[in-house]
Structure 1
Amino acid sequence: MDALKKLKEKALQNPEVKKEYEALKGEFEAISEGIKQSRSNGKRSGINDG
């Protein structure tokens, strides 16, 4: 298991962290999906595009 997954697993054991994570989960999933679509369309992030 990589370090990020271990950190997430440990953090989510805290009920307060888990509550906030669940509250924001949909927002982060939408952002992630948008990034995936942009990548599949050949678009870049705009960062350092010159």
Structure 2
Amino acid sequence: MRALARRWLWLHEEIIAHDKERERIVTKRAPDLMASHGIATLTVAKMLI
């Protein structure tokens, strides 16, 4: 169980790091969309793709 908990924590930290990087990239590429009310980072990323 301890190993599973450590793995979960490691993956959780990795997800947070990826989310921050995605937000940085998306904000750089589409600042106007990111400033819009009600449009999430993932939605803007999908729109850019």
TM range (shorter): 0.3 to 0.5
Question: TM-score with structure 1 length normalisation?
Answer: 0.41
Question: TM-score with structure 2 length normalisation?
Answer: 0.42
Tell me which protein shows more helix as a share of its residues. Answer: 2
